[in-house]
Structure 1
Amino acid sequence: MKLESAIKMKNVSKIYEINSEKRSLKQLFIDTVKAKEKIKPTQIQIFKDISFEITKGEVFGLIGENGAGKSTALKIMAGIISPDAGAVHVNGSVAALLEIGLGFHPDLTGTENARLYGSILGIDRKSMKDLMPQIFKFAELEGYENVPIKRYSSGMQVRLAFSVATNIDPDILLLDEVFSVGDKRFQTKSFEKIKSFLDQKKTILLVTHDLKIAEELCTRIMFIRKRGAIEIGPPGEMIEKYHESLKEGSIRV
């Protein structure tokens, strides 16, 4: 029996353009007046024509060197950025925790930001109101509901973001280095929350440099090499290939 697809990426390519020379506003004006030839940006190929499928209920890990494209892959799947070519199909509601305070407005309170985050993820106002007590309890931020986010520490912000993302009951959860933030106790608490998602057969995509966690949680792992080349296989096999690359000195962690 064919398993139902949660996410499918088909022939996806992504290129970033980086300006090789920084110029001040004054210099830009002078160059424009002098009709100086425009400096062409440097193009970096992140992915080229990659295809893979993630099934429902799978814990899918992404490992590889910094800058290889792990976070870019998550952002494409979350719909935050678009591929330059190819198609992405997502089957189910998605919650993404990709960076500290993603989408948070510094002048809004914790409650207002949580409500805004929930609305972006498609949760109606009444449902978010009902969820607020458990969101702030899990985040250990009771008493801070009406405090502006700019008064929160980075740890408080990520606890709130993680709590919102995991308490709205998404079908698919995208996590980028979530176990590297917060204190040890909250990391353990977050880990237990993720394991409860596994019991509910939720789909989880996890970017992490903690290979022990990756091997323990993931059903499959995608190892992203330089220039976006990918290999997908069992956790032990992909982690071994990662270690081999480390020995060869080709990976920067």
Structure 2
Amino acid sequence: MSTSNAPSSDPLQDLHNTELKEIRYQLKKLNGRRLDFDYKKRRKGKVPAEEVRQAWDKFITSKELAERSMFILLQDDVDRLSRLAALVSALLDFHRNAHRILLGLHGNLQARLTAASNKPERRFRTRKIRVRSEHNGSIGFYHPPSLTSAASSGEQFTVLPSRPGSPISCYADSKLVLDQPCCRALYSFHPNHEGELGFSEGDIVVLTRQVDANWYEGSLGGRSGLFPVSYVDVLVPLPLP
């Protein structure tokens, strides 16, 4: 029985599972009844005429059913082909969109490749750490020994006079900053409670310990207290517990 009007996302699979399956069944049945009729016809003298006639009738019935199934298959061509055309159209739209997306991606990658190829070569340079000595109020920049040609003592500073009235607080001794865990203030922090340590943006604060995930304890210019983790950038981390 034909079910070609049933909806299917794959017309070819639907054809295989319904119409062609029905036709194969009818042809197999037709072949079996033909063999049965031929056998009884050859033994006409030994097989009753009624059995031969019944075998013939069954053969004719199967032949008509097989022919009808094939006729219906051919008659449903318009519906089947329209569904197949819709499937092909959907696949075509999909691949067109994929082609458009890939073209855009390819153009973007080519542009980035060209920009990266034309970019001048850059050499790695370690950023200087600004520190201020609390003894003479001067501001200095620490140069890492690996980048300093004349670092006989292991540390070298380019010293600049401090500006009068500078809002930057006095830092701890430069050796203390370099030798101990410390951090740089990303923002100015104004204490809201007793026991908190205030500082200005750019200050170097000596780290004492980490109280929890949100607070450090440290010292700056002879003062000590707590301050938020999110306000600073760690330069020399605390030792692991």
TM-score (norm 2): 0.19
Give the structure, 1 or 2, with the largest relative contact order (CA under 8 Å, sep 6 or more).
Answer: 1
TM-score (norm 1): 0.18
Structure whose residues are more often helix by fraction: 2
Report the structure number with the largest CA radius of gyration.
2
